[in-house]
Structure 1
Amino acid sequence: MSEANDRTQLDVQDVRARHGEAQVLQGVSLDVAAGEVVTLVGRNGAGKTTLLRCLMGLHRSMTGTVVLDGKDISRMPSHKRCRLGLGYVPDDRGIYSTLTVEENLTLPPTTGPDAWSLEKVYETFPVLAQRRRQSGTHLSGGEQQMLSVARVLRMGARLLLADEPTEGLAPLLVQQIGDIIRTVKAHGVTVLLIEQNVHFASTVADRHYLIAQGRVVESLDNAEVKQREHELLEYLGI
Structure 2
Amino acid sequence: MADALQLREVSAHYGPARALDSVSLRVAPGEVATLVGRNGAGKTTLLRCVMGLHRTTTGRIALAGREITGLAAHRRARLGLGQVPDDRGIYHSLSVKEHLTLPHTDRGRGWSLERIHDTFPLLAERRRTPAAKLSGGEQQLLALARVLRMGSTVMLCDEPSEGLAPVMVQRVGEVLREAKTHGVAVLLVEQNLRFAATVADRHYLLDRGRVVESLDNSAVRDREHELLDRLGL
* TM-score (norm: length of structure 1): 0.94
Counterpart in 2 of 1:148?
143
Structure 1 gap ranges (5+): 1-5
Counterpart in 1 of 2:45?
50
* Equivalent residue for 1:191, pick from 186, 192, 215: 186
Q: Provide the rounded CA distance (Å) in 1 between the counterparts of 2:114 and 2:212.
A: 42
Asked if 1:160 is matched to 2:142, the reply is no
* Equivalent residue for 1:139, pick from 134, 140, 162: 134
Counterpart in 2 of 1:3?
none
Structure 2 gap ranges (5+): none
Deviations 1:35-88 (A, max 9, x none): 101100000000000000100111024321001111111111111111111101
Amino acid at match of 2:4: Q
Q: Provide the rounded CA distance (Å) in 1 between the counterparts of 2:206 and 2:47.
A: 12
Q: Provide the rounded CA distance (Å) in 2 between the counterparts of 1:18 and 1:64.
A: 13
The answer (yes or no) to whether the contact 1:10–1:32 under 8 Å persists in 2 is yes
The answer (yes or no) to whether the contact 1:66–1:74 under 8 Å persists in 2 is yes
Q: Which moved more, 1:207-216 or 1:53-62?
A: 53-62
Asked if 1:229 is matched to 2:229, the reply is no
Amino acid at match of 1:159: V
The answer (yes or no) to whether the contact 2:154–2:185 under 8 Å persists in 1 is yes
Partner SS state of residue 203, structure 2: strand
Amino acid at match of 1:121: I
Counterpart in 2 of 1:114?
109
5 Å-filtered alignment, 1:1-238, equals 6-111=1-106, 113-238=108-233
Partner SS state of residue 168, structure 1: coil
Query: How far 1:7 moved relative to its partner?
Result: 4.6
Amino acid at match of 1:9: A
Q: Provide the rounded CA distance (Å) in 2 between the counterparts of 1:91 and 1:112.
A: 27
Deviations 1:149-190 (A, max 9, x none): 111111110110000101112222211211121122122211
The answer (yes or no) to whether the contact 2:4–2:153 under 8 Å persists in 1 is no
Query: How far 1:120 moved relative to its partner?
Result: 1.6
Q: Which moved more, 1:227-236 or 1:109-118?
A: 109-118
Q: Provide the rounded CA distance (Å) in 1 between the counterparts of 2:168 and 2:117.
A: 19
The answer (yes or no) to whether the contact 1:84–1:112 under 8 Å persists in 2 is no
The answer (yes or no) to whether the contact 1:40–1:195 under 8 Å persists in 2 is yes
Amino acid at match of 2:74: H
* TM-score (norm: length of structure 2): 0.96
Q: Provide the rounded CA distance (Å) in 1 between the counterparts of 2:151 and 2:175.
A: 17
The answer (yes or no) to whether the contact 1:19–1:61 under 8 Å persists in 2 is no
Two-structure CA RMSD over aligned residues (Å): 1.2
Partner SS state of residue 124, structure 2: helix
Partner SS state of residue 147, structure 1: helix
Is the alpha carbon distance of 1:197 and 1:65 closer, same or farther for their aligned partners in structure 2, counting shifts above 3 Å? same
